[in-house]
Structure 1
Amino acid sequence: MNGRPRSLSFHEVLEQARQGILPGRDQLKVLLHPQGKGERVALFEAARHVRDLHFGRAVFLYGFVYTSTHCRNNCRFCLYRASNPKAPRYRKATGEILDVCERLAQSGVHLLDITLGEDPRIHRPDATGWEDLVGLVSDVVQRTGVPVMVSPGVAPRWVLAALARAGADWYACYQETHNRDRFRDLRVGQDYEARMQAKEEAKAEGLLLEEGILCGLGETDDDLLDSLEAMGALDADQVRVMTFVPQPGTPLQSAPRPSPQRELVLIAVMRLLFPDRLIPASLDVEGLAGLRARLQAGANVVTSIVPPGRGLAGVAHSSLDIETERRTVQAVMKCLAGLDLRPASLEDYRSWMAGRRAA
């Protein structure tokens, strides 16, 4: 059941959150339903206040390198599902990947996100594919000197340990939903527990963890709150939400495009609930045009920065702003300046990571 509990005051709950009193489940339900522009503005202002208390005006920038769009899975929402003939497919060669990573590092990103589908050439019965990925990560770390996130889907523990030894700092693996029935419907044929276990093992191996959810596919308030609780239980270091985008050639291609307001409210609620964590504003859903609103909702990371002219693809939108100059560090910095925000230094980012590992 969705909707605000009538006995609770939105502004009372919001003021407590501003003061550092973490909202409980009933209070979160109140915050999920701001009524009218005034309450939305108040929610976003409170989220920015909490963000600035912990991070000041600094924002972190992530470069995005989608190395392979081949995938063995058939997620109903994903353009790159195995059975989709409309999906653009490629596998980038090692030299090309290293070139892109070096360009991104030189442009000023704080992290390189090495992302791929569950490519059958990596996810194979022998260890060869995984060893190739570990070697690639080692090369990226040595060539760029920039922190690295790896997003390869579900990885066995020995791979997670090897990635950590190779110099990777982060493991990203999104559950999308923590409602098991919805998970089975969205991630067809996949194992809910195996996906969660990989994240727990990544933390145990010393990797920082990013967890994420998808909104706009009919989830209930309780679904969302269950996800927020699961993120807290995982002690995720970076938490994100992205709006569902209908993809051609998928079972959900005719689903209605949801309002972006739900994502913005969830970013703000996440900020109040996880005040000291990283929360991304992705360029993948609405491109540069949607960045300002996400930062104004309390995000402090800009993800999916992509260099043009390299033949890369996005996730939610395979081509949005990619072959222009609108998903570059330079374009993002103009947006930040207009909000009186600034890029953090690489030293600031490394210091934050060290603090999280020590916590």
Structure 2
Amino acid sequence: MNDLIKKLFENKTLNNEEFLDILSSNKYDEELKKLANIRREEYYGKDVYIRGLIEFSNYCKNNCLYCGIRAGNSKANRYRLNTEDILDCCEEGYKLGFRTFVLQGGEDPYFSDDIFLEIISKIRSSFPDCAITLSLGERDYKSFKDFFDAGANRYLLRHETANESHFNKIHPNNLSLEKRKNCILQLKEIGYQVGSGFMVGSPYQKLEYLIEDLRFLEILQPDMIGIGPFLSHKDTPFKNFENGSMCLTLKLISILRLMFPYSLIPSTTALGTINPEGRELGLKAGANVVMPNLSPSNVRNKYELYDNKIYSGSEAAESIELLTKLIEKSGFKVSVNRGDVKRTTL
């Protein structure tokens, strides 16, 4: 075993120079993947957890330069689901075997705290054995606390980049890294299982910035970590930038598994979009979560954060048999329970 990889395997961290060595070379990739699988099996065995993703709105008040549903994209075909639509998605998902629902949308001003509280309360009362995950963007402390008290269990809020200068280059002036980090830390304080993460290969990113991302996650000790390659969208200011690297993303999944062996790490839609086998490769690199789409089929193609996003086939929640076969072919098995984080080994 390479001494550097052995050190990461045993100590769960490296110094900045050592991380840079790993990130800038492909000579460690296979060994990283092998050890990441060892660590995952210690905590989760061969289980892959499925989450039912409900993309409830593609309206957004923000103008993030990389995002296809940014407020400034006049070409976006906008939609909103109402409370009954969302509950119907949960009902369908429950019948298919999902025990976690992920509510994700743009920061849509229409969805007030009162509306979300009604949605959360109805999901909680109708499906008491299920986990409710929110991905609603930045809110104030009271909103986060009220949602938690109403029955939400988990919250996903990616920091996207932990370098302030980089953050400012890819976000509008009204967003700040300090506020984003504060929101994430508040969520943990309240008691959520918290997920964060970052884009790989976003415009102006340096390898050193990725190390800053790893350092922020070391402080946070997140329950969930979502990363994916940057993918451009034709109607954004970043339309001409190259997509991020799948290989670097897979390497970082392995690194994250070794640093945070207990974590729930999705193999994302972005990986499946950049490569037909991307999601399976993500699982083999150390990921242990997939999030098929439960949204109504007539809106799935409208939640377009980036070009060519996949939303059919094994990406669709109703194709659970196809998804199960793909996961089993990759050497894993679908787990139908809630899939809460495990901080100790099996």
Aligned length: 336
RMSD across aligned C-alpha pairs, in angstroms?
A: 2.1
1:152 aligns with 2:152: no
* Aligned partners of 1:148 and 1:168 also within 8 Å: yes
* Mapped partners of 1:256, 1:317: distance in 2: 12
* Aligned partners of 2:232 and 2:238 also within 8 Å: yes
Bigger CA drift: 97-106 or 313-322? 313-322
* Aligned partners of 1:243 and 1:263 also within 8 Å: yes
Shift in alpha-carbon separation, 1:35–1:174, aligned structure 2, 3 A? closer
* Aligned partners of 2:49 and 2:335 also within 8 Å: yes
1:259 aligns with 2:248: no
Can you give the 5+ residue segments of structure 1 that lack an aligned partner in the other structure?
A: 1-9, 123-128
Deviations 1:238-262 (A, max 9, x none): 1121111111210001112233111
* Aligned partners of 1:174 and 1:211 also within 8 Å: yes
* Aligned partners of 1:101 and 1:112 also within 8 Å: yes
1:296 aligns with: 284
SS of 2:2 mapped into structure 1 = helix
Share of identical aligned residues, percent? 23
* Mapped partners of 1:310, 1:142: distance in 2: 27
* Mapped partners of 2:170, 2:36: distance in 1: 30
1:241 aligns with 2:227: yes
SS of 2:197 mapped into structure 1 = strand
* Mapped partners of 1:247, 1:256: distance in 2: 11
Shift of 1:207: 0.9
Shift in alpha-carbon separation, 1:139–1:335, aligned structure 2, 3 A? same
* Mapped partners of 2:307, 2:123: distance in 1: 24
Structure with more contact order per residue of length (Cα contacts < 8 Å, sep ≥ 6) = 2
* Aligned partners of 1:79 and 1:87 also within 8 Å: yes
SS of 2:114 mapped into structure 1 = helix
* Mapped partners of 1:97, 1:308: distance in 2: 9
1:7 aligns with: none
Deviations 1:114-154 (A, max 9, x none): 011111223xxxxxx11111211111222233101111110
2:259 aligns with: 273
2:164 aligns with: 180
* Aligned partners of 1:245 and 1:285 also within 8 Å: no
Bigger CA drift: 65-74 or 327-336? 327-336
1:199 aligns with: 184
TM-score normalised per structure 1 = 0.87
* Aligned partners of 1:62 and 1:112 also within 8 Å: yes
Shift in alpha-carbon separation, 1:69–1:17, aligned structure 2, 3 A? same
* Mapped partners of 2:78, 2:279: distance in 1: 27
Shift of 1:332: 2.0
Report the residue type matching 2:192 in the other structure.
L
SS of 2:277 mapped into structure 1 = helix
* Aligned partners of 1:104 and 1:307 also within 8 Å: no
* Aligned partners of 1:100 and 1:310 also within 8 Å: no
* Mapped partners of 2:36, 2:314: distance in 1: 30
